[in-house]
A = this chain, B = another copy of it.
Amino acid sequence: MKNRILTVDDDRDILKVLKANLELHGYEVDTAESWTKAQEILTTRQPDMIILDIMLPDGDGIEICRHLRKESPQIPIILLTARDKVSDKVMGLEIGADDYVVKPFETLELIARIGACLRRVCPITEDEVVIGNLKVDFKKQIVTVSGKKVELTPKEYKLLCFFINNRGEVMDRETIRKTIWKDSHIYSWSRVIDVHIQHLRQKIEKDPSNPKYLLTVPGAGYRFMD
């Protein structure tokens, strides 16, 4: 079940590079050099994500983005732009883009952002996940340990889902902050994340001091065992 990505950019070289790299990372890719071409493609099939250059020969990216949001609010959009002014960045996000990458961009960074965005937007396909004696019912939002229901606070539940969706991978504090805390500003020296991790451990781990699921990766972040 590959995710399909539509990339819209007037620079054919960029399109070529993007297509190659995205396909290498397991995505199916449609490319369009103009907004007109993109619209044609959109009528035939819906992508799971759109990567949109803000500067196109036949339309203003900002307007296009706003339009897309109205037409297909469920498709996440990542904006590409040569401009790096903060005002643009803010505007891009305000009109509904999910992320914003400034050209020239590191391909790897873009790939990472695409992955993060897709996980964020279409996070869970299963209704429930069972890992060891831990069970999470995403529909009912019920977490059980050894069949016993566990009461989690909203933040704790979000954290747990986040880790389960990214199980196996190391999640650094900055990524956690960006995903769970989003725009609410947290000082870099804040220990909020660590404290919540402790709370979660106390609720889902048998021996919170020797966690089996929610592991510490010293100097890097945390990782959920799978």
Contact = CB atoms under 8 A, between A and B. Distances in A.
Given A24-B124, A153-B218, A223 B141 contact: yes
Interface size class of A (residues with CB under 8 A): 20 to 34
Interface in A84-143: 107-108, 122-125, 139-141
Interface string A10-30: 000100110001001000000
A74 B141 contact: no
A154 B154 CA distance: 32
Contact of A73 (B13, B124, B140, B169): B13
A169 B137 CA distance: 10
B13 A139 contact: no
A123 B108 contact: yes
A1 B23 CA distance: 12
A153 B123 contact: no
Contact of A141 (B107, B125, B154, B170): B170
Contact of A74 (B17, B124, B154, B217): B17
A63 B154 CA distance: 45
A169 B217 contact: no
Nearest to A167: B140
A57 interface: no
Contacts of A140: 168-170, 223
Contacts of A147: none
A74 B107 CA distance: 14
Interface of A: 1, 13, 16-17, 21, 24, 73-74, 107-108, 122-125, 139-141, 153-155, 157, 168-170, 217-220, 223
22 contacts: A1-B24, A16-B74, A17-B74, A24-B124, A107-B124, A108-B124, A108-B125, A139-B168, A139-B169, A139-B170, A140-B168, A140-B170, A140-B223, A141-B217, A141-B220, A141-B223, A153-B218, A153-B219, A154-B218, A154-B219, A154-B220, A155-B219
